[in-house]
Structure 1
């Protein structure tokens, strides 16, 4: 699971990415960071992957924390991945990059199930199935195109977002 408020520990960036795993090769850590679009940022830090993030990641911005946490998830190669507002602290450019990364990881392992909880419609636009909730109940479901064609709640949210 990946939450909108990622938890980072007062450890190095490398240790945070590999947290809970043993004997992780640095190559795997770098690969996960690259996929999460945080590698270049890390490389620019004076201590690189050995940089301490501070208590709860206090030395990092919200978007940097989210990308480190995404790298932590990606290094595990989970069969089921739940993303709860995973890109909420990112600007639209970085959100798009992460979307492309998620699509690529899905292509690499088509058996992976990816569940995305999001308020930003751009986050879910390419999903195979979108379920629209209203007061805890599914009121619409389908692809982006199908939901737009129905002119229901999803369509109204889409129109509001594009104003």
Structure 2
């Protein structure tokens, strides 16, 4: 992982909770309460305005999290924040375990087959429930299951390359 200045999207504010200015959050961390471990947050409003925030606290509340944001005590202020995305610097996250990867670290890496055929670069990843899938854009888009060692043979951050066992015609 070379780009330590990147930001990671961890969740978003989806509305107000109660009358004391608490916010309902959607969290994409695992477990979802971990979002509070990674701070400072960089809040990006739907209009593009950004600000940094430290000290948010929260708890589980049904399908969302409930958060108390520092300095926010009014429900209307929280409602105005609806849709605000919560980012953290990539450097705020712990290093991944061996053979585990943050998706953002894989995005932009070149992908080639074991025979050396260039397929393109990783544009994004997504989960199907059964496994994660890399979207590789080159002469066309290919969806390659991120399954090691069946399809993904190696990930080399020094060379900015992923080698896959994949038929380039598929």
Asked if TM exceeds 0.5, the reply is no
Larger radius of gyration: 2
- More helix, by proportion: 1
- More strand, by proportion: 2
Higher RCO, 1 vs 2 (CA within 8 Å, ≥6 residues apart):
1
TM-score, scaled to structure 2: 0.30
